[in-house]
Structure 1
Amino acid sequence: MASAIEIILIPTLMIVIGYLFKRLGILKPQDSNVLSSIVITVSMPAMIFLNLSKATIHPSLGILPITSIIISVIGMIIAYAYCKSRSYDKIKTWTIMIAAAMMNTGFIGYPITLGVFGEEGLIHAIFFDLVTPILFVAYGMILVREFGGDRKRVIREGLTFMPLWGVIFGLIANAVHFQPGYVIGSTLNYLSESTVPLIMLSLGLTINFRDVKKYMSDSVVVSAIRLLIAPCIVFITFSLLHITGMVFDVSVLESGMSTAMTALVLAITYKLDDRLMSSIILVDVLLSLITLTCWISLIM
């Protein structure tokens, strides 16, 4: 079984590949927009559908998505307070807020939880991640409203947002025990597996290490929120409420994941500061090599 560091190094390597493609002129920075569009309309909905359709649902797991929502909102509030204290403009404020709110509970969270806690832990991780596509849609609609969209446009964006339909059809498929068969199942699986590489390559295309230095202070603040404050809140709260077992362990671990790569998709789609977002994600992933190892040691 691969170690947590080895698992986290996988997305880091793909980011580096995207960056090298840009440096070598194989791909251009603007190509990240095309890759992001493919993720939003095709690969991400397939990934969401597959995760939801195969999940084993028990009422006792309901606390996990609730925890995920609360931690996401808390992260956004803390980030807003930080930006307010620095008198940042609207674009930069929302970039940092989204970065602090979106957790990489899927790509990084799933394999790490599986490696540490096995199949039972993975089921819990899926439920913790259950609301991520819903939060993605919600934050996307808020950004449309904040940056010039009217109510009709928000509704239209929501109804035509493909990840949302991935959630809806995934839940329906789970309820009716839908079996896609070899052809459909394999097709969805291939599309699903393309999600993370496309996002990573897109991230690599937008990375500029000069930006990392420029945005280091903001990146460190978001990393502190995502990697330290969020899991600390869950750890202390669940301890006071005497919530133990796998729900406790997975909630702490998943709350300490780095900023989701899909935050970059939001930044690009809604014209936020994607260079800042790229720098935050890069710093976040690198620092999580240390913090996740510490959290795993603490809860084991």
Structure 2
Amino acid sequence: MPPLVTQLLELYLRLGGSVLLGWILGRQLPKVVPAYLGKFLFWIGVPISIFAFLRHADLSGPIWIASVAAWVAIFFGAGLAWIWIALQGGKEGIGDWGRLTGGQNNADVSSGSPNPQSPIPNTQSLLWSKPTQGSFLLASMVGNTGYLGYPVTLALVGSQYFGWALFYDLLGTTLGAYGLGVVLAARFGMGAQSHWKILQAVVINPALWSFALGLIFRNLPLSNPIEESLRLCGWGAVALSLVLIGMRLSQLSDWDSLAQAGVSLGIKMLLVPMLLGIGLLLLGVSGSPLLVIVLQMAMPPAFATLILAEAYDLDRNLTVTALAVGSTGLLFTLPVWLLLFGR
């Protein structure tokens, strides 16, 4: 059996088994269990895994490229998504973008009320209300580079290049989701979530603090039992992260926005990693660092998009559909990235 096939089968057994277990548990256990598990991973599990794996990660070389690539992917995905919205919604869609950048809005897309220049509302534009546009943009630009990206990277590339995944996630996706993502959600949503509370969430994010502490104490010598315990806790957190994804997916059941979700996933999981991956290759980035960056780019939408959708009253149906379909579709896209960039 070819090594690539063996590698994928091992990964699918790890991912599929843990996610399936989570899906079964999510159908059987009270709905509060995923919430408590998520809090445990957010405050304790993921920070410990970051600290543990960072001790053995190779941080030499231009690792900052991962963070830059993350922001390029975020803006590129958002740009492609908005081009699609503008093509579908016509002048109304472009008007909303003008308002986002400080210009005048020509129509209230969320209410479908016509403006003086367009007395008859466009039926297609009514399908792209402002909350729908916000969810579509977020799903196209912010990926699940933490809970899902970490285990995929560790399984396919190993812990040596885990630092590249960390820089992509913490200095790219996390800041992008709760920075630019909040700006977009506030503009297109109906909620009244405090911007200060979102800023506080970024500042007190334990993953960022664990990342900083891991860098500071990276070379601190530890006894073998402590080192082994950290490693086991790190892998345990990875496994629980996959179980949590399965539990969350078991609670997603709305498929009304499948067509729109499919387009956003095509942008997020296919176009962006393909085009930017080729661009990085032409710029001289290759080998395992390139594969790590492409894998992070190709992750399905982050659960942060659901948090923002709830906080700002965006299109929840589109958000949950993109989460469910994207997480499943990852199994089919991973072989593509390994074939194209794995060598």
Answer whether TM exceeds 0.5 for this pair.
Answer: yes
**RMSD of aligned alpha carbons:** 3.4
Contact persistence 1:47–1:193 (CA under 8 A)? no
CA distance in 1, matches of 2:139, 2:132: 11
CA distance in 2, matches of 1:113, 1:198: 18
Counterpart AA for 1:6: L
CA distance in 1, matches of 2:16, 2:133: 29
Which runs of 5 or more residues in structure 1 are unaligned? Answer: none
Counterpart AA for 2:196: I
Residues 182-261 of structure 1 mapped to structure 2, 5 A cutoff: 194-205=240-251, 207-208=252-253, 211-212=254-255, 214-261=256-303
Residues 8-157 of structure 1 mapped to structure 2, 5 A cutoff: 8-10=15-17, 12-14=19-21, 16-17=23-24, 20-21=27-28, 27=30, 35-36=34-35, 39=38, 42-54=40-52, 55=54, 56=57, 57-58=59-60, 60-84=62-86, 85-86=88-89, 87=125, 88-131=128-171, 132-139=173-180, 141-142=182-183, 145-146=186-187, 147=189, 149=192, 153-157=194-198
Distance 1:234 1:180, change over 3 A: same
Which runs of 5 or more residues in structure 2 are unaligned? Answer: 1-6, 90-124
CA distance in 1, matches of 2:215, 2:47: 9
CA distance in 2, matches of 1:128, 1:71: 10
Deviations 1:37-89, CA, capped at 9 Å, x for gaps: 873x5532434533543424335211011111211221122222223324311
Deviations 1:247-276, CA, capped at 9 Å, x for gaps: 222222222222223332332343322232
CA distance in 1, matches of 2:156, 2:211: 27
State the Cα distance separating 1:217 from its structure 2 match.
0.9
Give the length in aligned residue pairs. Answer: 284
State the Cα distance separating 1:173 from its structure 2 match.
4.5
CA distance in 2, matches of 1:196, 1:267: 22
Distance 1:129 1:160, change over 3 A: closer
CA distance in 2, matches of 1:78, 1:144: 17
TM-score by length of 2: 0.69
CA distance in 2, matches of 1:230, 1:162: 29
Contact persistence 2:258–2:318 (CA under 8 A)? no
Contact persistence 1:144–1:270 (CA under 8 A)? yes
> Quick one: higher RCO (CA 8 Å, sep 6+), 1 or 2?
1
Give the equivalent residue in structure 1 for 2:209. 168
> Identity of aligned pairs, percent?
20
Structure richer in helix, relative to its length:
1
Give the equivalent residue in structure 1 for 2:331. 289
Contact persistence 2:168–2:296 (CA under 8 A)? yes
State the Cα distance separating 1:7 from its structure 2 match.
3.9
Counterpart AA for 1:263: T
Counterpart AA for 2:330: S
Contact persistence 1:52–1:174 (CA under 8 A)? no
